[in-house]
Each structure stands twice: as C-alpha cells, then as structure tokens.
Structure 1
Amino acid sequence: MSSAPKAFVIHLERAAGRRASVEALARALPIESEILPAVDGLALSAEAVGAAYAGARYAPRYPFALTRSEIGAFLSHRAAWRRIVDDGLDFAFVFEDDASLDPQRFTALLAALAAERGRWRYVLLPAAGLEPAGVTLARRGDVALLRPSSPPLRAIGQAVAREAAERLLALTAPFDRPVDTFLQMNWVTGVTLLAAAPTPIRDVSRETGGTTVQRKRLGLIDRLRHEAMRPVYRAQVLARYRRALAAGADTKP
C-alpha cells in the first residue's frame, strides 16, 4: 500500500469549457494528480444503466428516478474509488471538475489529514459557503475535522481512505440514488462522514458553463411532486442520520 496520497480530478471530456479550470486545479495540487475521465451518462447503453442502477435498494426510498447524468456522475466516483483500491493507496483526494483550490489551505489540510489519519476514513471538502455545523473531533493548526450535525450535500471534494473506498464500492453495486445523497447514509455505509473546515474548495461551476448534472425541465405536475417529496425525503434522512450518530453506529474510525 502506498502511503503517499494522490488526487483524482473527475472531468467530463465533452465539458470543454471546464478543461482550463481542471488543468489549473491539477497544477495547484502539491501532490501527484491525475485527470480521470468521467463516465458520460448520456452515452451509456440501456444495459449499462440497468447494471449500475437499481431503484429502491435502501431505505428510505429515493423518491425520484435518476437521470443519465446522475448515473454517470455516480459511476465516475465509483471509478475513482476503484482506483484508490486497485492502486493500493492509503487515501486519495477526489475532486469534481467544478472545483477550484486554495493551495495554502489545501497544504494545511493535507498535513492535518496525515497527522490524524487514524481518526478518519472519509472527509468531505465542501464548497466555500456550504461548510456544515458540527462537533469538532480533531484540530491541527487552523484545520478542524468535524462531524456534521446534519448530513451535508455536494461531493465536490473528498478525502477517501482505502477502507472506505472498499466499503462504498461494495454497497453501490448497484446504486439507487445520487452519489452525494448516498454518502449521507451513515446508517447504511457505517463510514463516519467528517468535514474539513476551513475548506480549500471553491465552486466555479457558474464560471465554467454551469452544472453538467442537469434534470430536464419538469412539467407542472412533476415539479409539484418534486417540491412535495423532497422535504419529506430529507426529513427521513435527517432522522436516520441523527439516530445513527446517537447510537454511535458510525463512530468507528
């Protein structure tokens, strides 16, 4: 197993407007990095979609069908997790291609993660402005590793240990919801979801052409259904997440 961390930057090759930003991110990283081609969900065959995606695998049931783009995004993250395992990395960083990096903050984070390696298996690097509130479990210098009190969204940046990658791969073949939504499910994964603060990540999606994970425009009935079901689903997830925290179900490093 390699103790030197590596970074994978997931990039959808047809999103040409993001290429310069992706290359800038790779150059800013003080560790080995690799641009990992994203899975283009729009190019997947029906057979590939059927093999990867199965609705209603875990409770609570995700109330919306995944789009091809969401399926491709999840497969892209699985490809990064697979590389962590296959390359024998102790841990690696995984970035989406709408991330921009503060090198100074990242260097401080890297030192903190290495020093506290026994305390974590998965650390979310949220986009600036989306840092969650939570309980600080470890602090090194200005960097805190905290356990969010509510499940955060957006897997724009992650630090993933090999043992977490193995477990996430095993639990998502197939998957039944978007990748960031699945990562919230500590009662299923058994993986402690920590977050880093301050974050070294800024979301530059608006500057580089907008999101590549888009839903088609919904009709009135479908839009009303989404608006009604989304808060119900989030409340179900929050209740399970906090029960798992209270029970200590996800506190094992």
Structure 2
Amino acid sequence: MNSLIIHMSSSTARRPNVARLLQDLPDAQVVEAVNGRDPAQVAGIKTHAGNLHSPAYPFPLTPAEIGVFQSHRKCWRMIVDQGWDYAMIAEDDLAVSSPEMTRARAMIAD
C-alpha cells in the first residue's frame, strides 16, 4: 500500500507531524499541496456558481477549498499514473492511532 501526505512546504508548524506520518504510514511520500491563493497554481480552474443542483450551495468556494480539492485531485492523478489500485491520502494534520491503522490495513487486505 502507498500513502500520499498532502503538505504545503511553507507550513513549517506541520513539518514535525509530516515526519511522524512518513514513519507511521506505509510507503509514504509527501505531495506538495496546491495553494489556492496562488493564481499560477489554479490557473484555468473553472468553478460554478453553486446552482447546478437543488438546493443551491449558499456560499462561494474559498481559495483554500479550491486548493484542498486540487491537492486531492493531484493525488488521485498520481494514483492513476502510477497504476496503483488504491492508496491512502492523508492531510498533514492527521494523527495516526496504531491499533486503528492495523485494523484498517487488515480490512483493506481482505
């Protein structure tokens, strides 16, 4: 199993947790997060007004929400490009419980 840890390298406060995740998660690697506030990183991304479905979504998307979605999309693309059947995608603020991780991995292996 592969693990992808989404982390914005400028977020120095989360670096110690990223180091722990690299140890705690199977075959983990860090994926640079998309900064939704950086026009160069979100160029060409189209959003909708939020009225495609009923009820309409009442709030405009924030740059942070766009960055989070694009970061996960980047991971999904990596999974497809690598030919993996699946991978674990984690945010850099995840706290891992060893017993729960063991149980989750056993469920995936079945």
TM-score (ref. length: structure 1): 0.40
Q: Is the 8 A contact 2:35 2:64 kept in 1?
A: yes
Greater C-alpha Rg: 1
| 2:12 pairs with 1:6 | no
Question: Cα–Cα, structure 1 residues 13 and 66, in superposed 2: closer, same or farther, change >3 Å?
Answer: same
Question: Cα–Cα, structure 1 residues 37 and 44, in superposed 2: closer, same or farther, change >3 Å?
Answer: same
Query: Partner of 1:66 in structure 2?
Result: 61
* Whole-Å separation in 1 of the counterparts to 2:28 and 2:46: 27
* Whole-Å separation in 2 of the counterparts to 1:23 and 1:63: 38
Question: Cα–Cα, structure 1 residues 58 and 93, in superposed 2: closer, same or farther, change >3 Å?
Answer: farther
Question: What is the RMSD computed on CA atoms of the aligned residues?
Answer: 1.9
Query: Partner of 1:40 in structure 2?
Result: 35
Q: CA deviation at 1:44?
A: 2.3
Letter matched to residue 8 of structure 1: L
More strand by share: 1
Question: Cα–Cα, structure 1 residues 33 and 71, in superposed 2: closer, same or farther, change >3 Å?
Answer: same
Structure 2: state its 5+ residue gaps. none
* Whole-Å separation in 2 of the counterparts to 1:46 and 1:63: 25
Q: CA deviation at 1:19?
A: 0.7
Question: Cα–Cα, structure 1 residues 47 and 69, in superposed 2: closer, same or farther, change >3 Å?
Answer: closer
Q: What percent identity do the matched residue pairs reach?
A: 35
TM-score (ref. length: structure 2): 0.88
Q: CA deviation at 1:110?
A: 0.6
Name the SS of the counterpart of 2:67 in structure 1: helix
* Whole-Å separation in 1 of the counterparts to 2:62 and 2:20: 29
Query: Partner of 1:204 in structure 2?
Result: none
| 2:58 pairs with 1:24 | no
* Whole-Å separation in 1 of the counterparts to 2:51 and 2:36: 20
| 2:55 pairs with 1:55 | no
> How many residues were matched structurally?
109
* Whole-Å separation in 2 of the counterparts to 1:109 and 1:94: 14
Out of 93, 104, 115, the residue aligned to residue 99 of structure 2 is 104
Higher relative contact order (CA 8 A, sep 6+): 2
Structure 1: state its 5+ residue gaps. 116-253
